[in-house]
Amino acid sequence: MSDAVVTRFAPSPTGFLHIGGARTALFNWLYAKRFGGKMLLRIEDTDRERSTEAAIAAIIDGLDWLGLKWDGEAIHQFSRAARHAEVAHEMLAAGKAYKCFATQQELEEMREKARAEKRPPRYDGRWRERSDADIAAAEASGLKYVVRLKAPQEGETVVDDRVQGRVVFPNKDLDDTVLLRSDGTPTYMLAVVVDDHDMSVTHIVRGDDHLTNAARQTHIYEAMGWRVPVMAHIPLIHGSDGAKLSKRHGALGVDAYRALGYLPAALRNYLVRLGWSAGDKEFFTTQEMIDAFDLPQIGRSPARFDFAKLENMNGHYMRATPDAELLAALEATLPYLDGGDMLARKLDDAMRAKLLGAMPGLKERAKTLVELLDGARFLFADRPLPLEPKAADILAQGRQHLVALTPRFSALADWTAASTEAAVRAYSEETGAKLGQVAQPLRAALTGRATSPGIFDVLEALGRDESMARIADQAKV
RNA sequence: GCGCCCAUCGUCUAGCGGUCUAGGACGUCGCCCUUUCACGGCGAAAACAGGGGUUCGAUCCCCCUUGGGCGCGCCA
């Protein structure tokens, strides 16, 4: 048995892969990479009512998009139900667990009573020490039972957590966890422990909403005589208002972040810096992340999700991405972008060449792929161009420059940013018009907008024929 | 209600008893660059929640208060 690090990401497929889950996956992945170990994927689908195939697909798609590849085959927890039950029966036989015939109604009453007496709602252990005869009688009368863990009632349970520190829970506050439901299926609490053990998981990194569970699970480990894995409960991500991330904070699933035009590398970088740090360093390549990542640098306080910072970071990544690569990323993301189909339809090699040529000017002005697509719109828009109100105003003021420029452009031997710039500068010097007074009407005519990349780059990217035609469209009115 | 966790600029954070007139990043506000918008450069405002200890000395250690969060299912 080696000491190789084994982590796991264990989402329940009751919805998409949300941003907190993505970060948990990232941390597990980084930790495994850092120590040359493996990250396993386990789909916790023991809740048959709420688990869906669509959710499983969404989670896998999300991990895939984020570039977080797990090792080996994904384990579907439900398929291991027989093994879970086997372990429960082992505990039953060893006297570490017992059959409980309390009905739902009894449990409800217990909770009601506790609430009325301002005590913690807890199972009272009424079947914990019953005689064999009692139990046999109950079973014979056809009553359904669950299997409960006979948890220690005195003393305390310590979770030695790598993030939270040494956390102590009084055992009197932890009741006898249900291991097997009355239909014989395993509960999450049992399944997790059995699976983590069977999968040789060495490090459990998960949200700190599981911290109390860690204590209950410790009891199961102890009952089975199994070694407890290293625990690391990371703080949850909160919304901008400090409350738990939810629908009203906007985008949720990682697929939504893709549709918003974020690059996976940027999202990873943003996520790793939420609750984890390495000095003042903000930007990490994947390799740098792996090399620097470890549990002690994870903070204990919850972090708020800040779109502004994500956006800024994404802008950095876009600018740092080589043009061809960024074009490929845009193309791959088109199916998910609003209005992306419009470009997708026109994307032939000629259009790719135009986009590539304009990319340096485009990517500097875009913080997301959505903005990149929007900024590139003028390249594939059909003539006559629709005009923004501001562009229309500009044209109303400076249409005569378009007319005057036309013969000069026609006379150009070659059509480049440099040649068109020379022509425009010569014109502006000769007529005394400020460069801006000439450039803005040109921009309006060529792009339909008041803002765009540098106008001479636009001229070159559009090419002579398209440029002249667009100028003519606006010059004649 | 009970248990547990957390607490540095608006946000993410550095800090691990003296180096702190508390550093970086995002955001905000100025200025510069400039054909627009960006990018970039320069600069500014902006924080140790409060109260007690411990110590020669606390942002850093302890306690309390306050404020947040999480958990308390035959859900995961």
Known catalytic residue: A476? Answer: no
Amino acid A309 CA to nucleotide B25 C1' distance, rounded Å: 9
**Whether the predicted pLDDT of A240 surpasses 80:** no
| A34, containing H or E segment | helix A19-34
**The pLDDT value given to residue A131:** 85
**Whether the predicted pLDDT of A176 surpasses 70:** yes
Q: What is the largest CA-CA distance in chain A?
A: 110
Task: Return left, alpha or beta for A432; rule: phi > 0 is left, psi -120 to 50 is alpha, else beta.
Answer: left
Which range (A126-135, A191-200, A231-240, A440-449) has the least confidence? Answer: A126-135
A249 contact partners, CB below 8 Å, separation of at least 6: A239, A240, A241, A305
**Whether the predicted pLDDT of A291 surpasses 90:** yes
Q: Per-residue confidence at A425, pLDDT binned at 50, 70, 90?
A: very high
**Whether the predicted pLDDT of A257 surpasses 80:** yes
**The pLDDT value given to residue A124:** 83
Q: Per-residue confidence at A246, pLDDT binned at 50, 70, 90?
A: low
- Contact (CB, 8 A) for A194 and A184: no
Q: Is the peptide bond before A407 cis (omega within 30 degrees of 0)?
A: no
pLDDT tens profile A76-124: 999 999 999 999 999 999 999 999 998 888 888 888 888 887 778 888 8
Amino acid A241 CA to nucleotide B68 C1' distance, rounded Å: 11
Amino acid A23 CA to nucleotide B25 C1' distance, rounded Å: 20
Q: Per-residue confidence at A395, pLDDT binned at 50, 70, 90?
A: very high
- CB of A2 nearer than 7 A to strand B: no
Give the pLDDT mean for A442-448.
97
| Average pLDDT of the residues of chain A | 93
Amino acid A227 CA to nucleotide B2 C1' distance, rounded Å: 30
Give the pLDDT mean for A405-420.
96
Which range (A136-140, A365-369, A463-467) has the least confidence? Answer: A136-140
**The pLDDT value given to residue A110:** 85
**Whether the predicted pLDDT of A477 surpasses 80:** no
Q: Per-residue confidence at A332, pLDDT binned at 50, 70, 90?
A: very high
Type of residue numbered A358: A
Structure tokens at A368: 């997301």
CA geometry: angle A144, A148, A150, nearest 5 deg: 145
**The pLDDT value given to residue A1:** 45
**Whether the predicted pLDDT of A476 surpasses 50:** yes
The ipTM value here is 0.94
Which nucleotides in chain B have some atom under 7 angstroms from a protein Cβ? 1-8, 10-15, 23-27, 35-40, 68-76
| A288, containing H or E segment | helix A286-292
Task: Return left, alpha or beta for A36; rule: phi > 0 is left, psi -120 to 50 is alpha, else beta.
Answer: left
**Whether the predicted pLDDT of A382 surpasses 80:** yes
Catalytic-role residue among A99, A113, A247, A281: A247
Structure tokens at A225: 């005589």
Q: What is the 3-state secondary structure (H, E, C) of A409-477?
A: HHCCCCCCHHHHHHHHHHHHHHHCCCHHHHHHHHHHHHHCCCCCCCHHHHHHHHCHHHHHHHHHHHHCC
**Whether the predicted pLDDT of A462 surpasses 50:** yes
- CB of A415 nearer than 7 A to strand B: no
